[in-house]
Amino acid sequence: MKLRRQSIIRKLVAGDGLRTHVELQDRLRDAGIEATQPTLSRDLRELGILRGPEGYQLPSTEATAPSAEARLTAAIRRELVGVDVGGTLVVLHTPSGHGNALAIEIDAGQLDGALGTIAGDDTIFIAARSEAAAQRIAKKLRAIANID
């Protein structure tokens, strides 16, 4: 129900220039959805919808969602403490409990030359396409994390 309601809210805000909660509640009611003021406030906050001079406005996706590359860079700087290379494997070291989180960002960031990752508690294996790709990946990660 929540996803449906939020989807309808997005459509209403995108197309109708709604100015108040009451207008939004009325339009939702017309669509067959009852929602209280606190529920609407929570939905608007979760959706990143703000009220401006022209009424409610959807957020710009560029302004609100950092790119996968930006998230990867931030995660590397925050979590990477060591990088080793062995053949086509790049071995990353993180503080305890951070391996999986960094591996998720590496997978989402689609690191060039990486085939995939395997994460442990504090270690990540990156399978590279070749030994040269492994060296490039390691060099890039060391540079981002400022590791010598």
* CATH code for the structural domain at 2-63: 1.10.10.10
Q: Note the pLDDT of residue 66.
A: 64
Which is more confidently placed, 6 or 131?
Answer: 131
Q: Of 110, 108, 120, 113, give the one whose Cα is nearest residue 137.
A: 113
pLDDT tens digits for range 79-128: 999 999 999 999 999 999 999 889 988 988 878 999 999 999 999 999 99
pLDDT tens digits for range 22-71: 898 999 999 899 999 888 888 888 888 888 777 888 876 544 556 778 88
Identify residue 21 by its one-letter amino acid code.
H
The pTM assigned to this predicted structure is 0.58
Which is more confidently placed, 137 or 1?
Answer: 137
Fold of 68-145: Gyrase A; domain 2 (3.30.1360)
Q: Note the pLDDT of residue 85.
A: 98
Q: Note the pLDDT of residue 82.
A: 97
Q: Note the pLDDT of residue 62.
A: 47
Q: Note the pLDDT of residue 65.
A: 56
Identify residue 91 by its one-letter amino acid code.
V
Q: Note the pLDDT of residue 64.
A: 52
Quote the crossing angle between the two packed helices 37-47 and 2-16, to the nearest 10°: 80
* Domain boundaries, given as residue ranges, for the chain: 2-63, 68-145
Distance CA 147, CA 141 (A): 8
**pLDDT above 80: residue 78:** yes
